[in-house]
Amino acid sequence: MTEEETKLDGLRPAVEARKTVSAEGTPEEPAEALVGEGAAKGEEPGEEEELKRWVLIVDSTVKDLDEAISALRKGTYRVVGVESAAEFFEVTKGGDEKRTEQSKTKAIAPDEYWMLAKGNTPDLVICELDLKDLDGWEFIMRLKFDNRYYEYQNVPVMVRTDEPVTVETVKKVQAESIMDYLPKSVKGADLLAKVDKYFEMREKLSAKKGEIAGCISHVVGSEYERISLAIRIRLKYTAALKAEAEKLKEAGAAAAEIKNLEDIVYLETSNIIKYERRRREIKKLLKKKQVKDDDGGTAKAQVETD
């Protein structure tokens, strides 16, 4: 049983206690989506450089930033680190001639600065929420919805924070299409493992999306990708909300506050089950299509032989 299946099994009773909702078994671990399309490109990169994914880290805690850069560079990634939103915006909008003397002493090395300044987009952004010059959510909002940074709208984002998951967090995660929500305590080899697992998951979903697009349609392939990612992140923050509700109960918090969390858990668990039903429908449709195509090919070959 996968981690996602275990989580869903734990959430399902809370839903069924209030409303009968059934699904055809528990969801398997969603395969998960396209590798970021904005691979960093040099003028004449070697074959090895072309294969490396590029990760941008935005973190105002210098020690955490340096540790994260070091950890990911031990993997197969090119990593760019910036210490503030202002530094990022200056680099992406400015160019070498506008770079201040102060920013030249920051974490960006000349070749990394060139990558950002030339408009290349990373495969993944990892952003701290407590930036020194701008709220992390506001920074992500600009990346996703400010037309000046339109090339970042489809770049996946992970957030790092020590803040607990709340109802407001859930709303923001949904609105900004966050791919993961990591505590700052996830460092070193653990952080590298999380990023590795994320990209492996996206590769699997990319393959499934392509398979569905080829057999059914691109629209259905994209739908499968979207709901698979929705299941993944919802399982994660729903489990966090359940844990938070239990803590509130133990602390003797107000009943209204606890009920608010439990209502969100109920709603999101219902959505998870609904998405999983649709995922299963698509997979069944794909299987039927593949069987039909195989039968047609066999029949055609038989006619040609006769």
**Alpha-carbon torsion (278, 211, 286, 205), positive or negative:** negative
Q: What stretch of H or E contains 124?
A: strand 124-128
β-pair partners for 126 = 57, 158
pLDDT computed for residue 143 by the predictor: 86
Residue holding tokens 């109802």?
A: 167
Q: Which long-range contacts (CB under 8 A, 24 or more apart) does 264-267 make?
A: 264/167, 264/170, 264/238, 265/11, 265/14, 265/238, 265/241, 266/14, 266/15, 266/18
pLDDT computed for residue 111 by the predictor: 60
Q: Between vectors from CA 26 to CA 155 and to CA 200, what angle results, nearest 5°?
A: 30
Q: Do 208 and 224 touch, CB atoms closer than 8 A?
A: yes
pLDDT of the chain, 306 residues: tens digit per residue: 555 555 545 444 444 444 433 333 334 444 333 333 333 334 444 444 456 899 999 999 999 999 999 999 999 898 988 899 988 888 776 543 344 444 444 445 556 666 666 667 889 999 999 899 998 889 998 888 888 888 888 899 999 988 877 777 777 776 667 888 888 889 999 999 999 999 999 999 999 999 999 999 999 999 999 999 989 988 888 888 888 888 889 999 889 888 988 998 999 899 999 999 999 999 999 999 988 876 655 444 443 444
pLDDT computed for residue 113 by the predictor: 60
pLDDT computed for residue 117 by the predictor: 62
Q: What stretch of H or E contains 299?
A: helix 255-305
pLDDT computed for residue 292 by the predictor: 80
Q: Looking at domain 37-155, which of 1.10.1740, 3.40.630, 1.10.10, 3.40.50 is its CATH number?
A: 3.40.50
CB under 8 Å to 134, separation ≥6 — which residues? 84, 85, 86
Q: How far apart are CA 200 and CA 219, in angstroms?
A: 23
pLDDT computed for residue 171 by the predictor: 73
pLDDT computed for residue 303 by the predictor: 37
pLDDT computed for residue 299 by the predictor: 41
Q: What share of the chain is helix, strand, coil (3-state, %, to 5)?
A: 65, 10, 25
Q: Residue ranges of the domains in the chain?
A: 1-34+203-297, 37-155
